[in-house]
Amino acid sequence: MRKTIAVGVAAGALVALAGIAPANAATDVAQLSVLHGVPDLTVDVYVNNELTLDDFAPGDLAGPLELPPGTYTVAITASDAADASAPAIGPVDLPLVGGENYTAVAHLDAAGEPTATLFTNDISTVGAGEGRLTVRHVAAAPAVDILAGGAAVITNLVNPNESMLTLPAGTVSASVAATGTTDPVIGPADVNVAEGTNTIVYAWGSLEDSNLALAIQTVGGLHSNPDGVPAGTAGLAATNQPADSGVWLIGGAALALVLGVSAAAVYGTRRLETRR
């Protein structure tokens, strides 16, 4: 049975969970969010062969959660699987370094096969009045261009790569088109590039199945004199129909169930590709 967590409850859960992890300095912990970007596949998540997250749905984002550095092994199965012996994705290792900010994404590769990628979110500072825009291609689709105001600002982006821009803070009308074209396959959708924030845009889904979607995560606190530890939040989720938009719920409690607080190294049969 799917558990839906209201934003306020999830935020409270994150506060409560903070007391579980060791009281290390910010540079001694890693922050991790998890995005489910595989369409039409509700999954269960196993950590160390234990069922820790039930019925994780496409488009769900969990986190961020502060975790001790270490390697966490995750296997993702169909929601009705009896155990983790036949995962749809993984087992994969999540090697987390203290002081870094990560997003692990379960998604389709360019050929439409389920896979996973661990991205390291850029938390370096930006100048006054500026924000960072990161675009990640995690969809079953060929190379794409990212259009802003109808013009290509990022070209020939392929799965599972990313590209970053530093922009004046403001709202950008963004869309995704096949490389060399201007006819959107996703969007347009308004993206708020906030000052002192890394706004991360994911193109996910499948072009062949007509379920491409655009989703946004933000990592704040990147001002030249940051007020606190950079942390992610969730935002706009738009399908290839511009009118279809919604808001991710912050599944902090779900992420805690997935990862626990173990810092011991664990083992898997496949390594997770790490993108920085």
Give 74's pLDDT tier (boundaries 50, 70, 90): confident
98 Ramachandran zone, left/alpha/beta (phi>0; psi -120 to 50) = beta
Distance CA 61, CA 276 (A): 20
Q: What is the rounded CA–CA span in Å between residue 131 and residue 129? A: 7
Q: Is 146 left (phi over 0), alpha (psi -120 to 50) or beta?
A: beta
Q: Is the pLDDT of residue 159 over 50?
A: yes
Domain ranges in the chain are 7-275
Give the model's confidence band at 269: pLDDT under 50 very low, under 70 low, under 90 confident, else very high.
very low
For the sheet containing 89-96, what is the strand order?
50-56, 43-47, 70-78, 89-96
Write out pLDDT tens, residues 239-258.
443 323 222 333 344 444 44
pLDDT of residue 63: 81
Q: In 3D, which of 183, 198, 221 has the Cα closest to residue 119?
A: 198
CB atoms within 10 A of CB 81: 17
User: Would you give the distance in Å from CA 193 to the centre of its chain?
Assistant: 17
Residue 255, H or E segment: helix 252-259
| 23 or 253, which is more confident | 253
pLDDT for the residue numbered 146: 96
The SS3 assignment for 178 reads strand
Question: Do 263 and 69 contact (CB within 8 A), yes or no?
Answer: yes
Amino acid 41 reads L
45 falls in which pLDDT band (50, 70, 90)? Answer: confident
User: Above pLDDT 70, what percent of the chain?
Assistant: 71
Q: What's the CA gap between 156 and 133, in Å, rounded?
A: 17
pTM, two decimals, is 0.77
* Structure confidence by residue, pLDDT tens digits, 103-152: 999 999 999 999 999 999 999 999 999 999 999 999 999 999 999 888 99
Residue 128 one-letter amino acid: A
pLDDT band at 176 (very low <50, low <70, confident <90, very high): very high
Specify the pLDDT at position 275: 55
What is the number of other CB atoms lying within 10 angstroms of the CB of residue 216?
A: 21
Distance CA 95, CA 30 (A): 10
b/e per residue, 243-266, with b = 16+ CB within 10 A?
Answer: eeeeebbbbbbbbbbbbeeebeeb
